[in-house]
Amino acid sequence: MSIELKNITKQFGGVSAVNDVSFTVADGQLVALLGPSGCGKTTVLRMISGLEAPTAGEIFVRGKRVNDVPVQKRNIGFVFQGYALFKSMSVADNIAFGLKIKKWTKADRDARVAELIALLGLKDLENRFPHQLSGGQRQRVALARALAPKPDVLLLDEPFAAVDAKIRQELREMLVNLHHELNVTTIFVTHDQEEAMEVSNRIVIFDKGRLAQIGTPREVYEEPASEFVARFIGVMNVLDCEVHEGVARYGELEFPTHGVTDGQRLRIGFRPYAVQVSNDLTAHRHFAVLRHTYFLGVLLRLELELPSGLIIRARMSKEEYTRLNLTEGREVSLQIRQYRVLSREGETLPPEVSVTHSLSLSPGEGI
Amino acid sequence: MAGIPKRQISAGHRKSQRGTEESPFVKWLLITVALLFSLVFLLLPLVNVFAQAFAKGFTVYWDALKHPNTLSAMKLTLLVTVICVPLNVLFGLAAAWAITKFEFRGKSLLITLIDLPFSVSPVVAGLMFVVLFGLQGFFGEWLADREIRIIFAVPGIALATLFVTFPFVARELIPIMQAAGSDQEQSALTLGANGWQTFWYVTLPSVKMGLLYGTILCIARCVGEFGAVSVVSGHITGKTDTVPLHVEKLYNEYQGAAAFAVASILALGALLTLGLKTWLEWREAKLEELAQQAEQATTQ
């Protein structure tokens, strides 16, 4: 079930919510539409479902244009952010609703409901009403209801936003397992980059109604197409540099780059993992003081203050932190092994220009 | 739905003697005042209606009820109710749907208009119809030429009643439908349901209780309306007298016992309505409680 959006634009009362968006989703993929709130991702999902009609552009499903196909005929399963279960129906009746509408026989309906109850771990809850269920249970009922009529596409709007952290983790894993088992093309909306990275095999990132980047979680993390993506996905140190003698500089830091002229301003970004830290002050060229350590679990985030007062963020494992015998206030040496030019003179670069520069690991070389 | 807040109130009540609670004196004073007031101003007159009705014995009571003029008034009242209630249920549903599910120009005007019959005196409402359809009225000549009688006839009474009972169903439904939003309907659409199926299986069941309350209140008002109907009816005994008008007429003609006898039917109707409404509320609370018990039983 491949889905294709071609130059989709949606305006609400003259305001563009979605602006000239095009992308394709291949059969059986699990895709996240990611972006901050108000970026148009939910509107895109609703247009794929048929709940909203695009102002301009075309939507194709398996090569067939569906712009004029009403929501009822698109054979989609939709899970709403607030679950939207039918309050006056039991769990079993909720799941069977789509089947009843599609005129399945009673025996077929019962069999399918039993199948989904088992699949989603809803046993013994068949006769409960929505208000008697926990948040996680409601979400599973909503999923079961959407999946019951065997939809071609499963669409989920912020599926895990309304449950607490522990249940959210369980539901994420459940969605991945379900997708693995049923292999139904799935598109979900989220504002949580971590969730998108963990669950999906492709991420479509939106920024203010426009497409910012499409790629695998690894691609968008390691090769962000813009400063927006770089900052939105994971943590990024971003520096506003100026070119002197062919090298972009920020204080004492230097970033050799191609094709730049003196006096030009660049934005350079690097991930915390690209910052190499040593307790041996002769190991690297730059010095810094460890100002603060955040314990994130297996990994630690370090805040390092350079002599100029610039603070950069680095990341290391707990083991390495212990091995290096680091403590807050201690002086260290560092080098930045990998960085990217994010933009030039305030202009966002196309992805092919914004390449990653990697340095060899030998100390002192390059910088 | 109504069950949960109620339980919370009673739970709070059990935990008495807290710092924030009033002293026993204030508590009992307030209870006494409230009870006394209801007794004197609500219950006593009601009891009096029945006492007066039977003051001259059961025969007089029965004769008053089976008098042809009384029967005709009852028939007319029933007819008007049967006409007005379904129309107002339909209108109420349509208006509540339009107001809660769509955004459109003039929405706040529509909301104000729905409330109009509540704020306008029924007499004024009746007069409006006289001005429109009476012989000297706006459409008077046109109607007279075609020998259509609206004022001082059944259509006028039905119109006036329709106007006065306009808001009951809509007012009951709007908050419920506003709270429910349109997510459930959208879910139904994504599952393949058409508009009618969505309304029938999803919207209607979720507003069922509100619709019932609204309908009951609407019936009660249809049966009991006096002011607006009085203006347009013309008081033709045995023809355009509704039950409340007939009661007034009997009373003015010094037939006190007969007037109270007929009034007792209205009072009985009101009591039945109240009873029905209370029973519905009780049943809903009971179902809720049973469901919660079932839930506790399965989770334990």
Question: Chain A 112-151, CB below 8 Å of chain B: which residues?
Answer: 124, 127-129, 132, 145-146, 149
Burial of B254 (0-12, 13-18, 19+ CB in 10 A): exposed
A158: left (phi over 0), alpha (psi -120 to 50) or beta: left
Name every chain A residue with its beta carbon within 8 A of the beta carbon of B210. Answer: none
Residues A104, A108, A110: CA angle, nearest 5 degrees: 110
pLDDT (0 to 100) of residue B295: 59
Per-residue pLDDT of B9-68, as tens digits, reads 444 444 445 566 778 889 899 999 999 999 999 899 999 999 989 988 889 899 989 999
Per-residue pLDDT of B191-212, as tens digits, reads 999 989 999 999 998 888 889 8
| A101 vs B193, B294, B298: nearest CB | B193
Pairwise CB contact (< 8 Å): A86 & B189: no
* Per-position pLDDT tens, chain A of length 367: 589 999 999 999 888 899 999 999 999 999 999 999 889 999 999 999 999 999 999 999 888 999 999 999 999 999 999 889 998 899 999 999 999 999 999 999 999 999 999 999 999 999 999 988 988 899 999 999 999 999 999 999 998 887 888 888 888 999 999 999 999 999 999 999 889 999 999 999 999 999 999 999 999 988 888 888 988 888 889 898 888 888 888 888 888 887 778 888 888 889 898 999 999 898 898 999 999 999 888 889 999 999 988 999 999 999 999 999 998 999 999 999 888 888 777 555 544 444 555 554 433 333 2
- Amino acid identity at B185: E
The answer to whether A11 touches A57, Cβ cutoff 8 Å, is no
pLDDT (0 to 100) of residue A223: 85
Establish whether this prediction's ipTM goes over 0.85. no
**Count of CB atoms situated within 10 Å of the CB of A56:** 13
Provide the pairing of β-strand A265-270 with A299-305.
Answer: unpaired
B/e letters for A118-139, b = 16+ CB within 10 Å, e = fewer, are ebbebeebeebbbebbeebbbb
A6 and B CB contact within 8 Å: no
Measured between alpha carbons, how far is residue A95 from residues A52, A92, A138 in Å?
Answer: 24, 5, 11
Q: Which of A337, A340, A338, A339 is nearest to A362 (CA)?
A: A337
Q: Does domain A3-227 have CATH number 1.10.10.10?
A: no
A104 and B CB contact within 8 Å: no
The answer to whether B4 touches B284, Cβ cutoff 8 Å, is no
Domains for chain B: give ranges and CATH numbers: 51-292 (1.10.3720.10)
Pairwise CB contact (< 8 Å): A71 & B295: no
What residues are paired with A266 via a beta bridge? Answer: A241, A344
Taking the C-alpha atoms of residue A237 and residue B221, their distance in angstroms, rounded to an integer, is 71
Taking the C-alpha atoms of residue B237 and residue B72, their distance in angstroms, rounded to an integer, is 9
Return the residue of B nearest to A130 by Cα: B291
Q: Quick one: which H or E segment has residue B50?
A: helix B44-53
| A84 vs B184, B194, B295: nearest CB | B184
* Per-position pLDDT tens, chain B of length 300: 333 444 444 444 444 455 667 788 898 999 999 999 999 998 999 999 999 899 888 898 999 899 999 999 999 999 999 999 999 999 999 999 888 888 888 888 988 999 899 888 999 999 988 888 888 888 888 888 888 888 888 999 999 999 999 999 999 999 998 888 888 999 999 999 998 999 999 999 888 888 988 999 999 999 999 999 999 988 888 888 999 999 999 999 988 889 999 999 999 988 888 898 888 888 888 877 776 676 566 554
Q: Give the sign of the dihedral formed by CA B73, CA B75, CA B80, CA B86.
A: positive
Taking the C-alpha atoms of residue A13 and residue B125, their distance in angstroms, rounded to an integer, is 40
Give B294→chain A minimum CA distance, Å. Answer: 9
Pairwise CB contact (< 8 Å): A102 & B192: yes
Best of A42, A75, A87 to substitute, by most chain B Cβ atoms within 10 angstroms, is: A87
| DSSP state, residue A273 | G
Name every chain B residue with its beta carbon within 8 A of the beta carbon of A78. Answer: 186-187, 190
Topology of the domain comprising A235-358: OB fold (Dihydrolipoamide Acetyltransferase, E2P) (2.40.50)
Taking the C-alpha atoms of residue A310 and residue A302, their distance in angstroms, rounded to an integer, is 13
What backbone torsions phi and psi does residue A245 show, to the nearest 5 degrees? Answer: 50, 45
Per-residue pLDDT of A135-162, as tens digits, reads 889 999 999 999 999 999 999 999 888 7
What residues are paired with A357 via a beta bridge? Answer: A339
Name every chain A residue with its beta carbon within 8 A of the beta carbon of B295. Answer: 128, 132
Taking the C-alpha atoms of residue A345 and residue A267, their distance in angstroms, rounded to an integer, is 8
pLDDT (0 to 100) of residue B296: 62
| DSSP state, residue A156 | E
- Domain spans of chain A? 3-227, 235-358
Pairwise CB contact (< 8 Å): A49 & B190: yes
pLDDT above 70: percentage of residues in chain B: 90
Taking the C-alpha atoms of residue A56 and residue A19, their distance in angstroms, rounded to an integer, is 9
Taking the C-alpha atoms of residue A269 and residue A226, their distance in angstroms, rounded to an integer, is 10
Pairwise CB contact (< 8 Å): B187 & A86: yes
The answer to whether B280 touches B267, Cβ cutoff 8 Å, is no
